[in-house]
Amino acid sequence: MSRVPLSVLDLATVREGHDSADALRGTTEIARTADDLGYARFWVAEHHNMPAVASTSPPVLIAHVAANTSRIKVGSGGVMLPNHMPFVVAEQFALLEALHPGRIDLGIGRAPGTDQATAAALRGGSPHLTVEQFPDHLGMVLALLGDDRVPAERISRLRATPEPRTYPEVWMLGSSTYGAQVAAALGLPFCYAYHFAMSSDVDAAVRLYRSGFKPSPRYPEPHLMVSASVLAAETREQAQFLAGPSRIVALSLRTGRLGPIVSPESAATHELSDLDRGVLAQLPGTQYAGTADDVVAGLDALVERTSADELILAGAAYDPATRQDSLARIAKAWGLPK
């Protein structure tokens, strides 16, 4: 059976009893495993001021991961554009592309990737960094990275790199219909964050993206990637046990009780209030936790529902080795070409 490519999304999660350096070493090992197993892309996210996440600067981490892998495409899932001046983003990714031609993805998002106070600290009160300016800033990044549909006067005499031979692949990310419509209007590939977005929104987002897609010179056809949270293990019971920490992380994000990711043992004995149980019952998105066959069945159904051209696999685990084992099981069951 022919299946769509699979990719990997990582947050460099910090676990209890360990530090950021351990988390980043774990991410590097997970990336190497994904590279060896035949996954198409390895993306890292941008989050700030979160005890459980060491992925604060995607360009820095992308440079490290790309230098420690050989084949897999490496990118951002994503860079939160309202936190940065567009010229800086374009220069960073032009440089990454020059270092690793044909292997760099620039996934762009509109959310802050943090709380409002931290977002304000990142932006320094600049009137030039607001969500309202997102469309204009996105256009500037595209122009600086070789999209000649954007009027030249938008970038004046600016150049993101002196002599580019190739450009990074630019993606629009989103967890709502807004991102889908932007991607469609600009003829960009689109990644829908189904692992944490309301599951009912995915159908509308996919419909708007495909029906409204305007071909662009680089992308004559729409290209959709959908994320899912996964964890595969030898048995369903083991998978549910190992997935416990990811559910506590999701709960802590929504209740403001942030901390490093706990062990499966701690997650299993974590006392839940009635409010906690209500929050967990209403968590949006998807998680497929079970045997590799269970996970693959869920992913097959997701592809059938969305007609996705790719899937990107998220999912926090306490031990990086757990995630590596999960990715290996899924790759084998999916039939990834090495």
User: Along the chain (338 residues), what's the average pLDDT of each consecutive run of 10 residues?
Assistant: 91 94 98 98 91 92 98 96 92 97 96 66 62 86 89 79 92 94 97 79 94 95 96 97 88 73 92 77 77 97 96 95 98 94
- Tell me how far apart the alpha carbons of residues 137 and 90 are, in angstroms, rounded to a whole number: 10
- Percent helix / strand / coil, the chain, rounded to 5: 45, 15, 40
pLDDT for the residue 201:
85
pTM of model > 0.85: yes
Residues 6+ apart with CB under 8 A from 30: 8, 10, 42, 320, 323, 324, 327
288: left (phi > 0), else alpha (psi -120 to 50), else beta?
beta
- 206: number of Cβ within 10 Å: 22
Domains of the chain, earliest start first: 6-334 (3.20.20.30)
Omega cis (within 30) before 315: no
pLDDT, residue 114, reads 61
- Tell the residue number behind the tokens 């981490």, with chain if given: 61
pLDDT at 257: 66
